[in-house]
Chains A and B, each alone.
Chain A
């Protein structure tokens, strides 16, 4: 058997060991909220608190946010960029993002 094969086999054993070790030591799964919401922060500010002329999202009424996003998607609401943004996300993603920001203080 060549050295290359030996390395591949060795890596498999190593990974198995790693997996066992993680199961024993890693804390419970914790997700940072929906990753789609992270895209909002680049303009709407840390924690969705708003920035300059860009409104805050944190703690807003969820139905207000959901209605606004649906209107942006349908081009039923005046917008500078949010109409272009809203059409990029699925309804499920928007619902998760709305719940995430509505739940923040």
Chain B
């Protein structure tokens, strides 16, 4: 055996034995990065279901503002406090919460470098970092432009949502709200269309001569027929939706002039511009070498381990899972499968068979809710994922006021339930 081999054997063994030593002293270390729908769900579920896991959560924000129901905050239907959640419930469950930025993962050493604090070692890592806005993907749309034409698509400290709310409040009656929707895949597929609906709901009551110009980089969108039925019924003549084929893709923005420019050079001047740009996995995923050329993280569909880094389970909007939408419910559902898989693998067992559940409600108007339901299963080899045939689907079309009223109420109940599941 060469000296080099002996040295590397010693190094690798020392590193890989570290988790075993920590377990011998008590508990296996589950580190969770990101305190949103994926990460908070994972931390809570881990403590409830596997008390032998030592759970640490790293999250830069002191409180989490949800994107779901953000569209109601933007139009003053809800105060932002009602969608803001602290981490005391998770602390009470025994989760150690560290307020810091996770900068980079070393999956061989099983170590995460933090911006401020000491590096953290883990036995299994749950990475739920969310998305990054791809500034520069639309010419002229950078962080400065986002201070004039908000995206309001990552909640952060809430500043983007509140900026858009102030701009809508300040807009004169008769103004034009321009909204640019991104190509697939992106966070919350029905989100832009719920936002269009909620802005229309606000304008109808407060600025009824105003219009919404909805420019889209796609020709079809989630729950399209239901949204468009609702728009015709509730807001006739107010919303103009321009698909990709109708020159709807915004390629250039002049934030100071209030101009959204589309592919074939049409310049739309708007009073309020809401630009939802193309997205990718958050920066830590690319900085740690987990993303592929699409900018998202390919994962094993059963364990959610990154294909580039076993032991790092990537959940939430940052991963790429074929037909599964980037939704809060999917993040919650897959968080539990990822934690159950991590727990099983730590004990030398096989990961459980997966079944992933999604329901996305959208508000179209007052007491007017619609939904899409999906049930997915991973393939046995963890390489693929399929939707269960003849299951799920969208709400029925037609003049169904009781169905719409019930679904709006169920949406509220969903929000209460899922945030309790995450934070308590």
Chain A residues in contact with chain B, CB under 8 A?
A: 1, 3, 5-7, 9-11, 13-15, 17-27, 29-32, 35-36, 38-39, 41-46, 51-54, 80-81, 84-85, 87-89, 93
Q: Are A43 and B410 in contact (CB under 8 A)?
A: yes
Interface membership of B350, Cβ < 8 A? no
Interface membership of B349, Cβ < 8 A? yes
Question: Which listed residue, A11, A29, A85, touches B16 by the CB 8 Å rule?
Answer: A11
Q: How would you classify the secondary structure of chain A's contact residues: helix, strand, loop or mixed?
A: helix
Q: Are A42 and B371 in contact (CB under 8 A)?
A: no
Listed residue (B10, B24, B373, B388) with the most chain A CB atoms within 10 angstroms of its CB: B373
A36 cross-chain contacts in B, Cβ below 8 A: 355, 357
Q: Are A18 and B373 in contact (CB under 8 A)?
A: no
A91 to chain B, nearest CB (A): 13
A-B residue pairs, 5 tightest by C-beta: A14-B16, A88-B375, A10-B12, A39-B357, A32-B49
A-B CB contact pairs (8 Å), 18 listed:
A6-B12, A10-B8, A10-B10, A10-B13, A11-B12, A15-B16, A17-B16, A22-B348, A32-B49, A39-B355, A46-B424, A51-B413, A52-B416, A53-B409, A53-B410, A54-B414, A84-B393, A89-B355
Q: Are B20 and A18 in contact (CB under 8 A)?
A: yes
Interface membership of B352, Cβ < 8 A? yes
B108 to chain A, nearest CB (A): 8
Q: Are B416 and A38 in contact (CB under 8 A)?
A: no
Interface residues on B, range: 35 or more
A35 cross-chain contacts in B, Cβ below 8 A: 336-337, 340, 352, 354-355
B213 to chain A, nearest CB (A): 32
Chain B residues in contact with chain A, CB under 8 A?
A: 2, 4-5, 8-13, 15-17, 19-21, 23-24, 28, 45, 48-50, 52, 329, 332-333, 336-337, 340, 346-349, 352, 354-357, 359, 371, 373-375, 388, 390-393, 395, 403, 406-407, 409-410, 412-414, 416-418, 420-421, 424
**Alpha-carbon gap, A31 to B340, bound state (A):** 9
Known A-B contacts A46-B421, A54-B410; A84 and B8 likewise in contact (beta carbons under 8 Å): no
**Alpha-carbon gap, A54 to B413, bound state (A):** 7
Known A-B contacts A13-B13, A26-B23; A45 and B416 likewise in contact (beta carbons under 8 Å): yes
**Alpha-carbon gap, A5 to B378, bound state (A):** 32
A53 to chain B, nearest CB (A): 5
B52 cross-chain contacts in A, Cβ below 8 A: 26-27
Q: Are A32 and B48 in contact (CB under 8 A)?
A: yes
Listed residue (A24, A31, A41, A81) with the most chain B CB atoms within 10 angstroms of its CB: A81
**Alpha-carbon gap, A62 to B16, bound state (A):** 47
Q: Are B45 and A14 in contact (CB under 8 A)?
A: no
Listed residue (A13, A18, A23, A54) with the most chain B CB atoms within 10 angstroms of its CB: A18
B418 cross-chain contacts in A, Cβ below 8 A: 42-43
Known A-B contacts A10-B12, A19-B348, A85-B373; A42 and B329 likewise in contact (beta carbons under 8 Å): yes
Q: Besides the contacts A21-B20, A51-B420, what 9 more A-B pairs have beta carbons closer than 8 Å?
A: A9-B9, A17-B20, A26-B347, A32-B48, A38-B336, A45-B413, A51-B417, A52-B413, A85-B373
Question: Which listed residue, B340, B393, B406, B421, touches A32 by the CB 8 Å rule?
Answer: B340
Listed residue (A9, A42, A46, A51) with the most chain B CB atoms within 10 angstroms of its CB: A42
Q: Are A22 and B413 in contact (CB under 8 A)?
A: no
Question: Which listed residue, B16, B355, B359, touches A10 by the CB 8 Å rule?
Answer: B16
* A32: nearest chain-B partner, CB-CB: B49
**Alpha-carbon gap, A19 to B16, bound state (A):** 11
A95 to chain B, nearest CB (A): 14
* B19: nearest chain-A partner, CB-CB: A18
* A33: nearest chain-B partner, CB-CB: B49
Q: Are B424 and A18 in contact (CB under 8 A)?
A: no
**Alpha-carbon gap, A32 to B50, bound state (A):** 8
B355 cross-chain contacts in A, Cβ below 8 A: 35-36, 39, 88-89, 93
B363 to chain A, nearest CB (A): 15
B375 cross-chain contacts in A, Cβ below 8 A: 85, 88-89
A11 cross-chain contacts in B, Cβ below 8 A: 12, 16
* A23: nearest chain-B partner, CB-CB: B348
Question: Which listed residue, B9, B23, B50, B412, touches A13 by the CB 8 Å rule?
Answer: B9
Known A-B contacts A7-B12, A46-B424, A53-B410; A29 and B4 likewise in contact (beta carbons under 8 Å): no
B349 to chain A, nearest CB (A): 7
**Alpha-carbon gap, A94 to B53, bound state (A):** 29
Q: Are B409 and A81 in contact (CB under 8 A)?
A: no
Q: Are A46 and B24 in contact (CB under 8 A)?
A: no
* A21: nearest chain-B partner, CB-CB: B20
**Alpha-carbon gap, A1 to B414, bound state (A):** 57
**Alpha-carbon gap, A54 to B102, bound state (A):** 38
Q: Are B354 and A18 in contact (CB under 8 A)?
A: no
